[in-house]
């Protein structure tokens, strides 16, 4: 074989060896990429979208925010309803307050009922006083329906939050500070004092 033929054969062998090495490198590279992809390594998201884990976290935050907003709305609604109810009750109470002086006068009239001897006239007067007591009871019921309550006086301990002492007197067998007489009635609605009771207390 001539020298030229040997050189050509040698060159062809080197070319085949180079091509074989390149095929091996490509095959190894492909296998490595497949392995990385299977294990979640080296994967690049070129779509421009956030990973599913981030989207799930964001959705959870939105859900929590919506729940908080809903709870705040429900609490505000309850507060508004409560205030509206209180305002309605207070408005009715203020309207009923116009009748309190009349009720007080009925109470004073009933408290000074004279004692009359048994007679036809005394019987008629007793019937008249029974009518007064009945009207007084009706007034009291109307006040109660509007949420207004009478403040206890005679026999109760003096309380500066609901009573106004206008006089002190000696009270036989009565402890100091106890109320022995009512000058004018007091009224409250719940814990709100509408009118303090004017009273006389024992020294």
CA atoms within 13 A on the CB side of 135: 16
Contact indicator for 193, 186 with CB cutoff of 8 Å: yes
Contacts for 42 with CB less than 8 Å, ≥ 6 apart: 33, 36
Q: What is the pTM of this model?
A: 0.54
Determine which helix (DSSP H) or strand (DSSP E) holds 183, and give its type and residue range. Answer: strand 179-184
Q: What averages of pLDDT result for each successive group of 10 residues across the chain (203 residues)?
A: 48 51 52 52 50 82 87 89 83 78 82 75 81 84 86 94 94 88 90 91 92
CATH of 148-203, one of 2.30.22.10, 3.10.290.10, 3.40.50.1820, 3.30.56.10: 2.30.22.10
Distance CA 100, CA 42 (A): 87
The pLDDT value recorded for residue 155 is: 93
Distance CA 177, CA 189 (A): 25
Residues in the chain: 203
The pLDDT value recorded for residue 43 is: 45
Helix (H, G, I), strand (E, B) or coil at 167: strand
The residue among 137, 102, 109 whose CA lies nearest residue 125 is: 109
The pLDDT value recorded for residue 170 is: 87
């Amino acid at each position: 074989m001539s020298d030229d033929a040997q050189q050509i054969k040698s060159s062809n062998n080197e070319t085949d060896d180079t091509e074989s090495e390149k095929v091996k490198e490509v095959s190894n590279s492909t296998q490595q990429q497949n392995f990385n992809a299977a294990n979640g390594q080296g994967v690049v998201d070129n779509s421009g979208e956030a990973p599913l884990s981030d989207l799930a976290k964001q959705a959870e935050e939105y859900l929590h925010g919506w729940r908080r907003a809903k709870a705040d709305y429900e609490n505000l609604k309850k507060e508004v309803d409560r205030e509206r109810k209180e305002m309605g009750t207070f408005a009715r109470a203020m309207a009923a307050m116009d009748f309190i002086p009349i009720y007080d006068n009925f109470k004073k009239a009933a408290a000074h009922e004279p004692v009359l001897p048994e007679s036809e006239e005394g019987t008629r007067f007793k019937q008249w006083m029974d009518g007064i007591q009945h009207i007084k009871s009706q007034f009291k019921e109307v006040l109660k329906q509007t949420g207004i309550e009478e403040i206890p006086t005679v026999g109760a301990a003096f309380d500066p939050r609901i009573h106004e002492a206008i006089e002190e007197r000696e009270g036989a067998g009565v402890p100091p500070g106890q109320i022995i007489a009512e000058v004018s009635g007091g009224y409250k609605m719940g814990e709100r004092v509408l009118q303090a009771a004017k009273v006389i207390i024992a020294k």
